Every structure is written in structure tokens, then in C-alpha cells.
Structure 1
Amino acid sequence: MFEQHLFPAISQPVSGSIIYEHIRILFPILRSITGKGIRQTLEYVANQIQDFSIVSIPSGTPLFDWMVPDEWNVNSAKIIDTSGKIVLDLNWSTLHILQYSQPFHGTLSRKDLEEHLFTLPDYPDFIPYKTSYYTENWGFCLSENQKKKLTDLHYTVEIDATLSSGSLTYGEVLIPGISQEEFVFSIHCCHPSLANDNLSSLAIAIELIRKLQSLPQRRLSYRFLFVPGTIGSIAWLAQNTEKTKNIKNGLVLSCLGDKGSFTYKKAREDSANINTIMAKIFSDHPKARIWEFEPYGYDERQYCSPGFNLPVGCLMRSPNGTFPEYHTSADNLDFVTPCALEESLCVLLDLITITENALYPVSTSPYGEPQLGKRGLYPLSPNISKADHTKNDMPDQLCLLWVLNLADGKNSILDIAVRSKKSFRAILSAIELLQEADLLKLYSDKQQNAFSP
């Protein structure tokens, strides 16, 4: 087995304001699980990164127990009162139309219209996001206060929409590494104007891809999937079943732009490596939460379905359904912040640093503790670290001793960081110093008999 070298810790590449700008540009688009809006969104992503492919699957294609639905597009939707005044218009908000609404043209009573109006009485100023993907219906979403103003006895409804044979579209990029082992990131991109639940993870993923593509070399391969929720991940799995054997870790990304504390929902198998990685990262975030897996939420439940059982968790800030703004018009450009977006990207960069350094240290002086003083490593001077290291990167004397003691070829760098309760980057810095002193070698696999004669 060839000796390996450390992968340097990744620094922050962009400010949160750059991430936020992607959200601002994409926010007005009317997206759904199919149609012009999701294609427009994917085309934007394709213009931001290299080697991005857009895949279309025809309507009616079987996908395990599912089928690609007809494509939905809507040109206009409005409600008009008896005086001819438009009282609700899709142009005012992309949330005003019930997703996958059937076309409808006609005049009906206020009572009959009400059966097709969706509001949130507990939040009278919020417009809800509602869908009818697999049930035929038509309707409008509006605030409770808007609904109260509809006092005429009759209204005219005009919904110019089409449901016809077309395609389901998703985007994908594979960033190859030395190894064919993959880390998969999955991002749903089917929601209309929702800044946190949808666009925050999409915007962060763009910048994470840019960073990974700019690196001169990567150990692992990274696959990013931009898919419509549920049906999109099922479609990718159905058409790429053979590729799933290379997936060794994965994350679904969502709701990463609000001010809430981080939340990680575990992969299905408690022993999954991604669970250990995220627990270590969150040890530096005291308010972060770790949730057990449950078969509800985002697309992690598709990747973790029993036939695949992939090691895919879900990274969020405020989890879906736990904040009033969720799936409403209040999830707007004011709800996400550049600071939160930047912090979320930093967590993902820490994740990449850990996965790229999935290495096993072996001491070159394992019999007794090596003499550090003659190598200038005892006592360890605070000035020995590189000038661009942060405080959390700085190793202390105990970091060196932990690394040397656990460098038996059976403990990974992550194992050492977890057991020592030191930051991963501090352990990396300690390993770098010990390598420079010829006290360590690194290998990509466990060395069960590292010290055998």
C-alpha cells in the first residue's frame, strides 16, 4: 500500500452575499416537479459550473412503483370579481397557484370557489405552498386576509395551464477523484418562490461544486444531483441503480439559509460513516442537533429505502415543518441571511476536509513515546503553526500525543479526532508536524499488522 499525503484543509471560498445572489436571481421562477420553471433553474446552474448535464425522462416512463407524470406548465391564473377587477393574480406571487392545477375557465359562486381556495388561518398574512401532483384538482393559494376580501356572490376563474406528455428533468454533475468511491449530494429544486426550503441548498451547492472543481486533485469522487422532490430521486435511482454501489456517503441538503441552529438527520443505518462525520463536525457547534432517522422528510428516505439502504443523511438548519415560515410566502428573501448561508457552506467544507482525509496514520517510532524535544516539538510553541491557521486549527501538545498513541494503522484520522475530543483541523495540523518530523506515515486503508516484523 502506497504512502499517502494529507489533503489540506479547505478554506472559505466565497462570502455569503455571493451565495445569496443566486437565491435572489432564482427566486421569481415558478418551479414545479416538471415544466419550464425547473428547466430554467437547471439551465442557470449549468451556466455557473462546469460539466453539468441536464437529463430528461419522458412522461409515462416507469420508475419502480412510480411513473413520470405529465408535464405541467401554467401561463396565467387569476380570479376576477363581478366588476371585472382582478382580485388574485399569479403574477403577484408564484405561490398563488395550486401546484399541478388543472386548467379551468368559468364563473362560479363564492361558495363553490371556496372549495378551491387554500389558506393558513393561523397565519393570516401568509400564502401557503400547496400541491396536487397526483390528484386532479384546480385551485389557488392565498392569505386568509386576502380570502376575507372576496365578498362578491360570483367570481370568474381563468387558469391557463397545460398537463400533457412531456418530460421530467433533473441535473447532475460528477466531479471525479482518484477513487471511484462517491460522496453524493442531493438537492431538490422543484419549489416555487421559497428561499430557504429549496433555493438556499441549491445556491450553496453551486459554490461547493465550484470549490471542488477548482481543486487540483481529489481523493474521492463527488456527485451532485439537482432533482424534483421525491419523483426526481426515485427517477435517478431507477435509471442509475448500478452506480449506487459506488456511493459510500451522502447528504440531502435543505433549509440551510435561516438563522436556526444546525440539524442533522441520520442515515438509516446507525453505523453509517456519514453519521460519525456529522457528529464530529457538530461537536464544534454546541447548539447543533442530531435526529434519528425516520422514513419521512426529504429525499433521504428514497436513498435509504431498504432496496438501496445508502448511507445518506440530511443536513438542515431549521428542519422542515418546524418553523412558521415553512412552505409559505414568509420563506422569502428576508428569511435567509448571507451570514447563515456562509456558515452552512463552511460546515460542508469541513465535511469535505474530513472525507478527503480518510487516512490511517502509522507511527514510525511506535515502541515507547518518541522524543519530541530533539525534534523541536516539545514544548510545542504556539507559533509553530502556519500563520493562516485559525485558533481551532492550532494543535497543542496533547494533540501530538494522541496522534502518536493512536497511530497504529487501525485508527483513521477521524477516529483520532473523535476519541481525543480535539477539532479535526487541529489533529490535521498535528499530523502535518509529525509527518515533517518523519514520525508518521499515512495510508488509505487500515493496516492490521502495521508493526509486525
Structure 2
Amino acid sequence: MNEELGLRLHSRVRRLFPLARSLTGQGLRETLQIIAEELPLTVTEIPSGTKVLDWTVPLEWTVREAWIADPLGKRIVDLARHPLHLVGYSRPVDLALSRGELDKHLHSLPHQPDVIPYRTTYWADNWGFCIADSVRKQLPDGIYRVLLDATLSQGSLTLGEIEIPGETDDTVLISTHTCHPAMANDNCSGIAIAVELAHRLLSGPRPRYTYRIVFCPATIGAITWLALNLERVGTIHHGMVLAGLGDPAPLSWKRSRRGDTAIDRTASRILRELGADNKVLDFSPYGYDERQYCSPGFDLAIGRLSRGIHGTYAEYHTSLDTPDFVQPNALAEALLVAERILLEIDKDRRWKNLAPYGEPQLGRRGLYNSLGALPHPGEAQMAMLWLLNQSDGKRGLLEIAERSGIPVAELESVASLLEQHQLVEEIDQEEQA
């Protein structure tokens, strides 16, 4: 089953990988069009020049051709051969220049001589090309021709969003970035898993929370979404950013800015249960879009689920980040972990013990006999005792699970049983707030 799931996720990665994504433009739109083939995606275009918080939506970048020819006319770098050859958002140029002048606009990795790096110049009026260092070192002196046929013009930034209505307007936000070209792990893995999560949420029972899944360019996209949804920010109770989930490294959860929210504790507990190699990371203001959602003015309970940490593995932001680097089993495991975190968050309820003075006489109510029909009556009995003891209206199932070590699903089952016997009652949402 997991093998089939992994292959399905990997096929999405392979399909998305070739698209020339950036902050704006056709590659970004084509990415969202592919998602819209599977899901009821709402697409929004935000015009260039729109003020979004402290930022401005950039001009739209369109590239038709980009190459460098050596003194003999041979093209040593060509965007048509690899999308990472061109620095993202480079301004148009048509120049003849010396080897020394050209070198100021070249980017390579001396410690990875045969790899093309990924670089951008989003917010600077500049241009450049990325090249394997082994090729760069062999460039002869002479005059080089550089052609970069591109435009930066009035256009728009494109956001995609799916809403899965729940029983309440209280919201869980899931976000993944959509702007990196030729990045299978750093970009496409998060998109593939977010799409699968949407499928599962749409096809399953109606959730308690409303879920919003946002597909947006990194940084400016998340900032734009926040600027357009200021009235909704107060309804966001939990969330996660999905990034870099297909590499072979253990899973990691980066805590929200608050550090001890329900989703932080839930994700940390689940990762610990699944293996000691998994990591829980403290918040830092550097990384992916969790830093936008966790900026102090918003301070949302949003962490990040990843595998290899950005900048710490050789394939990161290079031409090595291909679909062959992404492992189907890693994608499947990440999807199931993300889903489990969300399911446990969605099951969180607060209960109030209606017989709080001393332990209720459970045998008189036939509860011990009722528990005999459950798969693990001993564990269920402990779950019942924990729930009765901790259900003071202040602690939810997640907190009780964390303290007792009993799975949320088992606590939920026992809570329903105790409710039938009028020993506990659920605290409604308004009373919890």
C-alpha cells in the first residue's frame, strides 16, 4: 500500500519537475494548472505593484532565450539545456564582453565542480548565469557573447488555494512553495504531498477544522496571502509548512515561534514515537515560509515538516536535486506522518468529568465489562482512568495523550464510552475559547 502511495506521489514530482517556475510567470501558472486537474483549486492573480505588507508584488518575469557563447561561437551555457543555468529574475542583456568581465556574472560551486547551482536575483537589478565550476575554470580568454532575451513587465503573482470546509470556521493552514525550477525535493515534494493531503481530506469524513491548503511562491507569496487574508488570520489555530520531504534524511519538525503549541507538541511526540533519528528543531527566523506565518505580528501556531535541512545536504539548490534523488518511500512516509499530525489535531477535544469527586464506580456501570469487547481492554481501562482524572475542562485529548503516552484515537474511543454513561461531557468550542 505504501509502495503504491509512494509511486503515486513520485509521479507527481516527475510531472512537475520540468516546469520553469519562478516568483511569477507561466511556469508558476502551469504548476497550478496541473494541480487544478486533480483538485478544486482557486487561483488568484495579484497585479504587479500591489502593496502587500512591507513588500510590493514584483514585475512579471518572462524569459525566451538565454545563453553564453565563447570566442569561437560555441554556446557554453544555454537555458535550453538546463533551467538552472540562468539566475532567476535576471534582467535582459545583449553584450559582448571579456572573460574577466563575464566572470563577475558567473556562479559556480568549487567544492562541487560538476554541479550547477541555483541562484536568484529577485530584488536586485542584475543578471547572471550558473555554470559547473569545472567548465568555468577552462574558459579561455577572449570576447564572449551574452544574450538574455527576457522581459520584466506589468503582470501578476499567482496564488493557488483549496478550502476544505469543516464543522467550524477554525482553520488549519497548510502551505508549500511553488517557485523553484528544476527542484524535485526542495519544491515538488511539498507540492505532491499537499495535493495528496487535499485528496484525503476531501474524500474523508467532514473534519472538525476547516483546512486551507496554499500553493504560493516562497516569501513574497506567503506575505501576499497573509496580506489578502488579514480577516482570516485570527481563525488559524494550527498549521504546517511542507518542504523537502523526499530525500533520505530522517523527518524533522521545526517548531513554531511560540514553540509549545498543540501542533508542536503533537508533531514532536509523533516523530519521537516513529524513531530516534527524527529531529525536533527549535524555531529560527530563517528557513521557509514558516518564518512569515510566525512573524511577531501574526505569531501563528505553524511549524514545518521537512527531511534534510536546507543548506545541509549536497543536492540542496543544485542540479543534483532531480526526481532520481527523491525516494518514493520517503514521500509516502512523510505524507502519512503529516496526515497523522492533522488527524490527531482534528480529534483534540476537551472533556469535563461529571463525577470529579473521587474515582467513579465503573464496575457498577458495567464499564469494565464493556471494555472487554475492545482489542486491548487493559490499555483501554488505563485510558479511561487517565481521561477521567485529567478531564477538568482545561486539558484536551492531545495534552492527555502526551502526558499518559496513550494514543489519541484510544482516548477518543474511551471518551465516547464514558459520555454514553454520563460520566463526561464535551466542552463546546465557545466554552473552550
Normalised by the size of structure 2, how large is the TM-score?
0.91
Which amino acid is 2:382 matched to?
L
In 1: Cα distance, 2:32 partner to 2:370 partner: 54
Residue 415 of structure 1: aligned partner: 399
Which amino acid is 2:153 matched to?
S
Residue 242 of structure 1: aligned partner: 231
Residue 93 of structure 1: aligned partner: 82
Residue 176 of structure 1: aligned partner: 165
Residue correspondence of structure 1 range 218-367 to structure 2 within 5 A: 218-285=207-274, 286-363=276-353, 366=356, 367=358
Following superposition, the deviation at residue 280 of structure 1 comes to: 2.5
Does the 8 Å CA contact 1:172/1:226 hold for their aligned counterparts? yes
Following superposition, the deviation at residue 79 of structure 1 comes to: 1.7
The answer to whether structure 1 residue 25 and structure 2 residue 19 are counterparts is no
Q: Secondary structure at the match of 1:20?
A: helix
In 1: Cα distance, 2:370 partner to 2:225 partner: 54
Match of 1:59 among 48, 52, 56: 48
Following superposition, the deviation at residue 263 of structure 1 comes to: 1.5
Match of 1:405 among 386, 389, 394: 389
In 2: Cα distance, 1:158 partner to 1:308 partner: 44
The answer to whether structure 1 residue 371 and structure 2 residue 365 are counterparts is no
In 2: Cα distance, 1:33 partner to 1:105 partner: 24
The answer to whether structure 1 residue 160 and structure 2 residue 149 are counterparts is yes
- 1:160–1:446 Cα change, 3 Å: closer
Match of 1:71 among 60, 83, 105: 60
> How much identity, in percent, do the aligned residues show?
41
Q: Secondary structure at the match of 1:410?
A: strand
Following superposition, the deviation at residue 164 of structure 1 comes to: 1.0
In structure 2, the gaps of 5 or more residues are none
In structure 1, the gaps of 5 or more residues are 1-10, 387-392, 449-453
Residue 4 of structure 1: aligned partner: none
Which amino acid is 1:159 matched to?
L
In 1: Cα distance, 2:413 partner to 2:333 partner: 22
Residue 118 of structure 1: aligned partner: 107
Moved more, 349-358 or 24-33: 349-358
Following superposition, the deviation at residue 181 of structure 1 comes to: 0.6
In 2: Cα distance, 1:435 partner to 1:96 partner: 63
The answer to whether structure 1 residue 82 and structure 2 residue 66 are counterparts is no
In 2: Cα distance, 1:263 partner to 1:233 partner: 21
Does the 8 Å CA contact 1:395/1:430 hold for their aligned counterparts? no
The answer to whether structure 1 residue 40 and structure 2 residue 30 are counterparts is yes
In 1: Cα distance, 2:7 partner to 2:378 partner: 29
In 1: Cα distance, 2:347 partner to 2:130 partner: 48
Normalised by the size of structure 1, how large is the TM-score?
0.88
Q: Secondary structure at the match of 2:263?
A: helix
Does the 8 Å CA contact 1:263/1:289 hold for their aligned counterparts? yes
Does the 8 Å CA contact 1:267/1:312 hold for their aligned counterparts? yes
